[in-house]
Amino acid sequence: MRTKAWARTWSVMRLAMAALIVAAIVTQLVKSVSTTIELGRDVATVVANFFSFFTILSNAAAAVVLASAAVWYFTRGRRAAVETPLLARALASVTTYMIITGLVYNLLLRLIELPLGSRPVPWSNEVLHLIAPLFLLADLFVGPLRRALPWRAIWSVIAFPIIWVIYTLVRGPLVVNPGTGDPFWYPYPFLNPNGPGGWPSVILYVLGIAAAVLVVAALVIGWGRRVGRERELDHDTGDHVEEEWEDAREALN
């Protein structure tokens, strides 16, 4: 899986997955908007709510990063030993977010009807909550040219989830639910302080998911450090062998 043929193949698969994610997001958005118009609800609010879901934001970010990684490889990465630091951080971030998306949805939310749209598109729902997270998990293990990041990179990875939680809790009581008319709207039931358990329940869920994000981010960066160091060592060894061959050729000449 360290060959150039594999790097090309996986880069094409990254492009394909990015396209599939975009198609899933667009399909669900079109369905949500069309349903909103049919029911006479506020389209602007529904669109804003749609892009307030962590699932949508993490998938959109994953699509951008996967496509960027593929483009980088085909334009500049074929001669590189490892990814650029920026690309490595971006991949570590979206991998963490997508793994969390898959875990939270499939463990806590799969059996709960979410307000992503009154009629979610089944295939789109599976792509965004299962297929794409599994692909990013696989990308962690088999993606080419992995770079070893410093441990302090974990703070840049967890920054977005922290900002998103703050945004969600601040925005929630300022938005009227377009479906029920309630004077609040939260993307996930466990973040709704007006539900069973109130704020204590919300705080417990936030702390629990925050701990999960930290653990997943640490595992993602830790694996990247292991694979990245092996790749850099192999690259250095290869350079050393090439230098020895050059010295031998010069001696013969």
CB 83 within 8 A of CB 77: yes
11-70 pLDDT, tens digit each: 999 999 999 999 999 999 999 999 999 989 999 999 999 999 999 999 999 999 999 999
- Arithmetic mean of pLDDT, 65-80: 94
Q: How many CB atoms lie within 10 A of CB 53?
A: 20
| SS3 label, residue 218 | helix
Q: Which DSSP string corresponds to 53-110?
A: -HHHHHHHHHHHHHHHHHHHHHHTGGG-SS--HHHHHHHHHHHHHHHHHHHHIIIIIT
Q: Give the domain ranges of the chain.
A: 4-252
Burial profile 180-217: b = 16 or more Cβ within 10 angstroms, e = fewer: eeeeebbbbbbbbbeeeeeeebbeebbeebeebbeebb
Pick the closest to residue 146 from 69, 58, 238 (CA basis).
69
State residue 115's pLDDT score.
52
**Residue-wise pLDDT tens digits, 97-123:** 999 999 999 998 887 765 544 568 999
Query: What is the rounded average pLDDT of the residues 235-251?
Result: 45
Over the stretch 167-188, which tens digit does the pLDDT of each residue have? 999 999 999 999 889 999 999 9
Residue 197 pLDDT > 70? yes
Measured CA to CA in angstroms, residue 177 lies from 115, 119, 180, 187, 222 at distances of: 10, 16, 6, 10, 41
**pLDDT top residue among 118 and 219:** 219
Q: Are 59 and 25 in contact (CB under 8 A)?
A: yes
